[in-house]
Structure 1
Amino acid sequence: MGSWVGPLFRRVYVANVQTTPWLYEFFYAMLWRHRWFATAAKSTLAAWAGRRLATEVERFDPDLILSTYPLGSAGLSWLRRHRLLPVPVGAWVSDFAPHPFWLYRDLDATFVMHPAALPAAELAEPGIAARATVPTVERRYYPGDPQLERPELGLPADRFVVLVTCGAYAFGAVTEAVDALLAAAGPIQVVVACGRNERLRAALRARGLPAERLLPLGWVADTAPLVRAADLVVTNAGGATSLEALATGRPVVMFRPIAAHGAANAALMGLSGLSETCSTAAQLTALVSARAAAGGSGGAESTAVKEYLDGHDAALDLPALAASAPPAPPPAIASGQIRPVRRAWPLRPPDSFFLHVQTRSITQQVGAVITAEPEPGAAPLTADVLVERIAAALPVLTTLRRRVVPRGGWLRPGWVVDPAIRVADHVHEVVAADDAEQAAALDRFWSEPVSLRRPPWQLLVVRRAGDSGSAGCTLAFKMHHAIGDGLSLIGTLDRILETPGRRTPRRRGAPSPRSRTLKGMAFQASRVVRGMWELGTNAGAPRHPLNRELTANRRGVVTVPLPTEQVRAAARRHRARSSEVLLGVLAEALHRAGVADGAAPDRLRTMLPVAMASASGARTAGNQTGVVSVDLPVGPMTVTERIQRIRGDLHRRMDLGEPHAAAFVMRALGMFPAPVHAWMSQRVYNSQFFNMIASYIPGPLQQRRIAGHRLTAVYPVVALAEGVPLGIGIMRYAGVTGVCVLYDESLRGIAGPLATALRSAFADALAQGR
């Protein structure tokens, strides 16, 4: 929302409550009395918050969203209306009495703190999906015996302890409450949690009363033991403090509630039998004197609190929210055409880029070829088994339910989540008699484009004829590049696969405010400028006979496994990274396969995607990579010379900021209307700027499993481009580094020799080095 939002809102809130409570009360009353005012105010804030939340939602890629703040609820409501936010969205109302700013009917569930709050929620927002719950506080707030907590806190066991706590700022009639409590009859100790209000604490300490009568405290990090140690809790707002007290089973008294929401909370809590309200000091003195004389018994109020806490299991709230179905998007097809959905979530510019550069003969799809071996006693890995596994993961894996749609006019394309997806339509099985049939099945799979009339992904299972489960199988998975890049692909597969003992990767949100300093932004800007200069002065690729017009959707794949430990050993010998060694091996293999024969240039400009620092390893969608170009030397020289040349060229371009400049260009192109964006994308993504594509993905080191089968190797498949018939994907996974060659049908004659040359070139690279 911006680093200034939090401090500003807190300052406005404190000023309203302390200085102009009448203005706060007026605004609150206007929200209830005039629906047009509430609608206008909520809509304005929702549009502002929603646009800023969109970036965070896109970056985090959530399965479920729960708001705990009215501004967040407003923004999520806007995203649901204007972007068809596809995941379950709920709001947790931390005030006992909900007010209109908390309530939005577009959310799937709004949790209020008591059944008595449901009519108020319906009145403020007709049609809202409101549900009653109990105080959803931290686990440390639980009922307990006050006498067990007091020794640790240094509180006397023989006194009636009254805790006065009025939130972090301790504003309101706190000193009046203290005076009234000190006037009460009986052995009473008044403990005041002053929070961050040091002025209040100093004033109370200046009274000079002994601690057994008056104990002013500063900021208390963990108030749960303090609340449990009290016989009575006095507060004035009915927000989080009251909910924490109720969760511990402590009686609550509201004294002179603060304006607006504080008064409403007190009224509803009193109506529910969970608290008493004292409007005057005399009332508070009399009530506490009576309670102290009765030995702390809360009577009917304590019974109501116990029934309230025992009447609902809050652990069921989130599963119920997760099971809710977001609104369905419009049907995919109308009159034979893909129907525009104006409210669809816009594709990010780097994602829509790959829709724009797709042609009839070149489908922009990425994926992987995966080999699997059964563990002892495992049943065959069939399409039916995988359909069941994927169907179980779909509720929390929106990537596989995303359908790309036009938004109409000059708007970028968008995506919606298809609620009616049939997994069986995306998973197919082929039985191959031998290696030749398996290779033909994989070639057909990569030749066929994924359909954009449904979520654009497919999975193929290739099993051997007569396999009863003892032989391994091969899986091929692909999805449209507009849905995500190689890292998104790995993240998607990882959500389906099994890894015993593996913890779910933590998703990262936005960078911390410290990374957004002027110095940091200046450094980023200078890096982009240097990279732009490099791109502008050294952009063209050499004209090479390798580049040609591609055959319409006729592709082939060849896979080459390399031992990861040997790859690392070669990297140590050459004092280079594994990726640099493998690019050198690739250049040597291209030389041996005859790519540079005759008058062909002795270098191949290769486009190499680079993961940006902001990319999260747990993401399952989106293209968040930059691009660096590197010249692969394919003329006569040793493998060591190739590796060192590539290493120097790559480091120079990375230091100049070429990946950041390329990422900036991808984002900047998206600022133009969709037709212009498409035209410019097609002009820069072709053989004029690069001769081939290569990608290196540092995949997971721990082996994955699915349905009793170990995945032994993963070979990433990259997408080709206009005039670029060759793409190389490399991925380090567990003990195998998989190399996959995707080629156009016109290069079938060199595919086999290139695979053979890769093996021999790697052997030489392992033997050479300094």
Structure 2
Amino acid sequence: MVDRVRPRDLMFLEDESPETPLHNATIEIFDPGEGEDALDHAALLNLIRDRIAFVPRYRQRLQAVPGHLAAPLWVDDENFDLAFHVRRSALPRPGTAAQLRELVARIVSRPLDRSRPLWEIYFVEGLEGGRVALLTKTHQALVDGVHTVDLGQLLLDLQPETRELEPDDWAPRRTPNPARLLADAVRGNLTDPGELLDTVRTGSRAFAREADRRTGRARSFARAATGRRPRTKGVINGPLSQQRRVVTVETCLADYRRVREAHGGTINDVILATLTGALRAWLMTRAESMGGLRQVRALVPVSVIDEELEATSLGSQIAAHFVDLPIGEPSPAVRLHQVSYSFQAHKDTGRSVAANRLAGIAGFAPTTFHAIGSRVASDELRRGYQLSVTNVPGPQAPLYAAGARMLASYPVPPLTAGHPLAIGVTSYDGGVFYGITADRDWIPDAELFGTCIGEALDELLEISAEGRDRAPRGRRATKGSVTGKVVAKATQRSARKSPPRPGPKA
């Protein structure tokens, strides 16, 4: 049976460029344990070797059809080499979190090799405290939640004891020769109108893409000759380079619950309100202040039950939800209630899926949900949003890989054209973990944005009934904090330049 790349997946392959590698990544931190049973590179290889049979596409590569008379095929990689995909790396001991983030940023900046299965895992040793990290990298075309879930979902167990599985006797099927591929393509185009239409669309997109590339190269040459930089498109929107920055932030789930208990809404509302406050503080520290922005239009993929959407193997579908984050509003309480109100209409439809249901899916489903959320963000580019935020609830009990306990999980979402900032959030085992991907050139102060997240959460805790008597967890956006001082100066500058404007109504 011919397994052609579906049109939607093909679009992700066609839209990829050196500036926009379309792969999702996840950083997972583990306590490897001690002795012979400790998690090391060899143990990880054995674990993946045992579980990879559940995701056959992880041993398949792309095969083009001669003359591009049909979409490419997924074929077994006859030279599949697990050791190539499961790589070993190390930081100089004791490796800091900043060194790990820098390593991750360099790795996620590189596109995947299309001549092989579209995934990689890095086993990173040398972290302070004796910990190790796994960096998983998978292409958007590989993980669709329908035929294939993320491999990371299958590697984790509820108990330290590794499950015993049946031996895998996989043997690759032979790749069809070019003549067979060509004959199958011609036959399919003649007998299947749908396949012929897909072929015509593929050819048209390829022609348009090549024209765009030539135009882009001409513009790049002109900029290099004149020394001009690309025109600014906005404070948080602009052109991408080929390099990335990665920022991670760990917070406590109990803090979000305190805010929710005091003000109502959901954990998701509190997370988005925290991000709204962080965006406000961060933008006010920049030379251009907030650039006149009063709202940031965010795309937040949500889980729904909707038979009209593509079914997934996770028990729900993923739909786009747009929310205007009120960064112009100075009151953290008003920001929270405005965000909660924007999600009320979605809740009233009856299609929404409860967070505890998502968290109860077998394995570690957040990795797959983040992958599908990134696909939704790519699909909705034409809708004109400014920022994508994917928030996925995970299990609140510890999980284990080959007996090693997972301590943290940070998503690393891909950037799409014109969007130099993307945010992923995963809750797991009492923590809420933010993963921020930023363009290295357009957003050089991404670390400061990470600091602002902690301070924005503290602002919400201060206005909550249980937060008033709580000792501060970290620096707050007050006069004594680093960002607070800069924000105060930015506010004074804005007040001198123009009279205050009323914020958006709740």
TM-score (norm 1): 0.43
Contact 2:305–2:317 under 8 Å retained in 1? no
Name the Cα RMSD after superposition: 3.5
Q: CA deviation at 1:548?
A: 0.8
Contact 2:276–2:335 under 8 Å retained in 1? yes
- Pick the structure with greater CA Rg: 1
Match of 1:333 in 2: none
Contact 1:544–1:600 under 8 Å retained in 2? no
Residues 379 and 701 of structure 1: CA distance in aligned 2, closer, same or farther (over 3 Å): same
Does 1:461 pair with 2:123?
A: yes
Match of 1:365 in 2: 23
Contact 2:387–2:422 under 8 Å retained in 1? yes
The secondary structure found in structure 2 opposite 1:593 is: helix
Match of 1:646 in 2: 339
Where do 1:101-112 residues align within 5 Å?
Answer: none
Residues 579 and 585 of structure 1: CA distance in aligned 2, closer, same or farther (over 3 Å): same
Match of 1:628 in 2: 321
Q: 2:302 aligns with which of 593, 610, 619?
A: 610
Residues 483 and 574 of structure 1: CA distance in aligned 2, closer, same or farther (over 3 Å): farther
CA distance in 1, matches of 2:240, 2:351: 28
Match of 1:589 in 2: 278
1:593 partner amino acid: W
Residues 353 and 574 of structure 1: CA distance in aligned 2, closer, same or farther (over 3 Å): farther
Q: CA deviation at 1:447?
A: 1.0
Match of 1:721 in 2: 416
Match of 2:267 in 1: 578
Where do 1:79-98 residues align within 5 Å?
Answer: 81=1, 83=2
Residues 574 and 750 of structure 1: CA distance in aligned 2, closer, same or farther (over 3 Å): farther
CA distance in 2, matches of 1:631, 1:713: 29
Where do 1:506-545 residues align within 5 Å?
Answer: 544-545=234-235
Match of 1:401 in 2: 59
Contact 1:628–1:658 under 8 Å retained in 2? no
Residues 161-212 of structure 1: CA deviation (Å, up to 9, x unaligned): xxxxxxxxxxxxxxxxxxxxxxxxxxxxxxxxxxxxxxxxxxxxxxxxxxxx
1:448 partner amino acid: R
Q: 1:547 aligns with which of 237, 244, 252?
A: 237
Percent of matched pairs sharing the same residue: 23
CA distance in 2, matches of 1:545, 1:658: 34
CA distance in 2, matches of 1:477, 1:555: 16
Q: CA deviation at 1:689?
A: 0.7
Does 1:556 pair with 2:245?
A: yes
CA distance in 1, matches of 2:377, 2:258: 41
The secondary structure found in structure 2 opposite 1:400 is: helix
Match of 2:169 in 1: none
CA distance in 1, matches of 2:149, 2:394: 8
Match of 1:140 in 2: none
Does 1:709 pair with 2:404?
A: yes
Where do 1:29-428 residues align within 5 Å?
Answer: 81=1, 83=2, 344-347=3-6, 349-375=7-33, 377=35, 379-406=37-64, 409=68, 411-428=70-87
The secondary structure found in structure 1 opposite 2:134 is: strand
CA distance in 2, matches of 1:753, 1:393: 39
Residues 493 and 704 of structure 1: CA distance in aligned 2, closer, same or farther (over 3 Å): same
The secondary structure found in structure 2 opposite 1:478 is: strand
Contact 1:446–1:556 under 8 Å retained in 2? no
Q: Can you give the 5+ residue segments of structure 2 that lack an aligned partner in the other structure? A: 164-231, 353-375, 466-506
Q: CA deviation at 1:498?
A: 2.4
Residues 600 and 567 of structure 1: CA distance in aligned 2, closer, same or farther (over 3 Å): same
1:577 partner amino acid: T
Contact 1:491–1:619 under 8 Å retained in 2? no
Does 1:476 pair with 2:135?
A: yes
Contact 1:365–1:719 under 8 Å retained in 2? yes
Residues 756 and 378 of structure 1: CA distance in aligned 2, closer, same or farther (over 3 Å): farther
Residues 639 and 410 of structure 1: CA distance in aligned 2, closer, same or farther (over 3 Å): farther
Contact 2:420–2:443 under 8 Å retained in 1? no
Residues 765 and 414 of structure 1: CA distance in aligned 2, closer, same or farther (over 3 Å): farther
Contact 2:108–2:244 under 8 Å retained in 1? yes
2:293 partner amino acid: P
1:609 partner amino acid: P
Residues 574 and 411 of structure 1: CA distance in aligned 2, closer, same or farther (over 3 Å): farther
Residues 696 and 410 of structure 1: CA distance in aligned 2, closer, same or farther (over 3 Å): farther
CA distance in 2, matches of 1:401, 1:709: 25
Q: 1:765 aligns with which of 441, 457, 460?
A: 460
Contact 1:547–1:687 under 8 Å retained in 2? no
CA distance in 1, matches of 2:161, 2:456: 36
CA distance in 1, matches of 2:61, 2:423: 28
CA distance in 2, matches of 1:617, 1:502: 29
Contact 1:430–1:460 under 8 Å retained in 2? yes
Q: Which stretches of structure 1, 4 residues or longer, exceed 6 Å deviation after superposition?
A: 486-490, 501-504, 614-617, 656-659, 681-684
